[in-house]
Structure 1
Amino acid sequence: MNIEVLKVHGSGNDFLLIDEMSDTYTFTEEERAKLAISFCNRESELGADGILFVLNSKTADARMRVFNADGSEASMCGNGLRCVARYVCEKLQITKAVIETMKANLQVEKEADLFPEIPTYKVEISPVTFQVKDLPLNLQQETVINEKIPGLSDDLVFTALAVPNPHIVAIVNQEQLESDIQLKLSEYVNGPNPLFPDGVNVSFVRPLRKGHIFVRTFERGVGFTNACGTAMSASSLVTCLVGLNDIEETIEVYNPGGKVRCAVHENDGVYKIDLIGNGTYVYRAVVHTTLSDFSPTTVEKTLFYQNEAQQYEKLQEHATKFIQQTN
């Protein structure tokens, strides 16, 4: 079987995009999971954090489904949504679209370049909930906002929220960021544990200066990634809740893969977040694969987007310099 893929990334969070709007693929749920496990394997010629399936929708311009590298399906992916936004807008020759996701139909649109010659899209991150049952988090209280979680850490305080995938966010200093605390916590809450039966994304946030933060995320089903779009959105919201940043003001969010821009909006206690950043193309390829386990037998890369890669490297250099200046 031959499968066409487009390698893309948002803030260095990389994916394989498969277009089911045009092509007549008929994947079963089991096959989607197998595809993700096989194609995303970093030891293969492809390798990625996940697969973005782009499908037709009855209620929106397109539908996005996201499968992580371990074969699990994510309810949302902000970095992936930006890449899908670009793909759908260019395919349909429009600048604004609505993308159906697991929990909501979300607005996306072309945005002014975040950095010179970086294709940039703004995507809506919602719905947002702080109810622990929505993560789920097994605690005898309704919310966890800037407080300790029993059995998790003696020193750190967390905010738990779903956007709509589950996150816990801790604001830390440089020493805590450089320690192994995040790894140990993340492995614990994403293994058998009494708190998070479905696992959870774990973000450490270091304030750089007003309107600027650094976020590192251990992503459920993936591990440490260059960036997680929903985590950066959730982290921006948390910094507003604790008074480090302001609602309705843009926040520059730096990450190991580069940077994005967020803006938190609130209306009668209901939050939504704008996530603004790159949707970069890396290459197009045709993957020849076996039907039994979808192992890639050969990968024919047909088109490389070298200029986009070069420009994103410049953005990364810019982001790295800024972070170093604030240390």
Structure 2
Amino acid sequence: MEITLIKGHGSGNDFLIIDEISHAYSFSEEDRSKLARLLCDRNKDLGADGILFMLKSERADGRMRVFNSDGSEASMCGNGLRLVARYICELLNKEEAVIETMKADLKVSKQKEILPMIHTYQVEISPVSFQLSDLPLVMEQDVLINEPITDLSSELLFTALAVPNPHLIAIVETEQLQSDLQKQLSEKVNSPNDLFPDGVNVSFVKPLSKGSIYVNTFERGVGFTNACGTAMSASSLVTCMNKLNEFEEVIQVYNNGGKVQCVVHKDHGQYFIDLIGNATYLYQAAIKVNLGERTFKISSKHVLSEQTAYEQLQKEAQKVIVKGL
């Protein structure tokens, strides 16, 4: 099997992009899972947090399916959606588009560069649900907003929400960020447990200043990641609900991979978030894959120059993080 792909990243959250719109690939569901485990393995020549499969859609400009590095499928990925937004917009020569995802059709658009020479896209993050059954989180209540989960921590207050990926958010102090607490409870809820049967993304959020936060995320199916788009969106919403930030205003969201911007909207009791950030391509490659033998070989690789501009954003973001923490 011969496959052409692009490796790119949103906020350092890196993916392999496989275009099934322009190429006549024929993948079974098992193939997609096997490809993710094989190609995303960081001990091999490619390595990534996941694969973005782009398919034709009967009702939108394109369809996105996301497979994590462990072979599981995610219902959404904000950082990955920015890469898909760029690819689809450039493929169709559009400034804006609609992308079909597992739970919703989402609006995406090209934006003014967040810094010079950085391809920047805005994507819609929705739907938002606080119903524990939508995560799921097994507790004897319907919602969890700023409440303890004593089985996980005696010192933190959690908010649980689906966007539509499941997220568990805690607003923390620097000392809690620097401890092993997040690692311990994240591994607990992403191993066999009674609370989260399907696992959950866990984010610790530290306010830096008005309109500015730092988010560190343990991503279900991945582990600690440079950034998680839906986690940064969910975290921004939680800070607005706690009056740390304002609805309808730009929030600067810093992460270990750089930074994005979020705007949280509230309309008749419903929430949605605009996630704005980079969609950076690293290289184009052609590979030959043997799924039966679980091997692949890179036939050709063309490295692009876009990362140089993004590294400047990373440097500026790191200065803000260090100062704020």
Matches within 5 A, 1:158-197: 158-197=158-197
Q: CA deviation at 1:322?
A: 1.4
SS of 1:232's equivalent? helix
Q: CA deviation at 1:292?
A: 1.0
CA 1:113–1:138: 2 relative to 1, 3 Å: same
Q: CA deviation at 1:227?
A: 0.2
Q: CA deviation at 1:146?
A: 0.8
Letter aligned with residue 66 of structure 2: V
Is residue 132 of structure 1 aligned with residue 132 of structure 2? Answer: yes
Q: Match for residue 305 of structure 1?
A: 304
SS of 1:264's equivalent? strand
C-alpha deviations, 1:98-151, integer Å up to 9, x for none?
000000000000011111111000000000000000000000111000110131
Distance in 1, Cα, partners of 2:317 & 2:185: 27
SS of 1:102's equivalent? coil
Matches within 5 A, 1:3-82: 3-82=3-82
Distance in 2, Cα, partners of 1:283 & 1:50: 16
C-alpha deviations, 1:176-210, integer Å up to 9, x for none?
00110000000000001110000000000000000
- TM-score, normalising length: structure 1: 0.98
Q: Match for residue 198 of structure 2?
A: 198
Identity among equivalent pairs (%): 62
Q: Match for residue 284 of structure 1?
A: 284
Q: CA deviation at 1:294?
A: 4.3
Contact 1:98 1:105 survives alignment (8 Å):
yes
C-alpha deviations, 1:60-91, integer Å up to 9, x for none?
00000000000000000000000000000000
Contact 1:145 1:160 survives alignment (8 Å):
yes
* Unmatched 5+ stretches in structure 1: none
Distance in 1, Cα, partners of 2:163 & 2:29: 24
Distance in 2, Cα, partners of 1:290 & 1:191: 31
Letter aligned with residue 45 of structure 1: D
C-alpha deviations, 1:18-57, integer Å up to 9, x for none?
0000100010000000000000000010000000000000
Q: Match for residue 210 of structure 1?
A: 210
Letter aligned with residue 323 of structure 1: I
Contact 2:247 2:264 survives alignment (8 Å):
yes
* Unmatched 5+ stretches in structure 2: none
Is residue 316 of structure 1 aligned with residue 307 of structure 2? Answer: no
Distance in 2, Cα, partners of 1:300 & 1:291: 16
Is residue 250 of structure 1 aligned with residue 237 of structure 2? Answer: no
Q: CA deviation at 1:325?
A: 2.2
Distance in 1, Cα, partners of 2:174 & 2:6: 37
Distance in 2, Cα, partners of 1:313 & 1:22: 31
Contact 2:35 2:291 survives alignment (8 Å):
no
Distance in 2, Cα, partners of 1:295 & 1:125: 36
Letter aligned with residue 258 of structure 1: G
How many residue pairs end up in the alignment?
Answer: 325
Contact 1:283 1:301 survives alignment (8 Å):
no
Contact 1:138 1:195 survives alignment (8 Å):
yes
Letter aligned with residue 314 of structure 1: Q
Q: CA RMSD in A?
A: 0.8
Matches within 5 A, 1:260-279: 260-279=260-279
Distance in 2, Cα, partners of 1:324 & 1:54: 37
Letter aligned with residue 24 of structure 2: T
Distance in 1, Cα, partners of 2:189 & 2:123: 28
Contact 1:215 1:253 survives alignment (8 Å):
yes
C-alpha deviations, 1:132-177, integer Å up to 9, x for none?
0000000011100011013111000000000001000000111100
Letter aligned with residue 63 of structure 1: R
Q: CA deviation at 1:305?
A: 1.2
Distance in 1, Cα, partners of 2:293 & 2:223: 23
CA 1:202–1:257: 2 relative to 1, 3 Å: same
SS of 2:168's equivalent? strand
Q: CA deviation at 1:293?
A: 4.6
Contact 2:34 2:291 survives alignment (8 Å):
no
Distance in 2, Cα, partners of 1:55 & 1:290: 22
Q: Match for residue 228 of structure 2?
A: 228
Q: CA deviation at 1:94?
A: 0.3
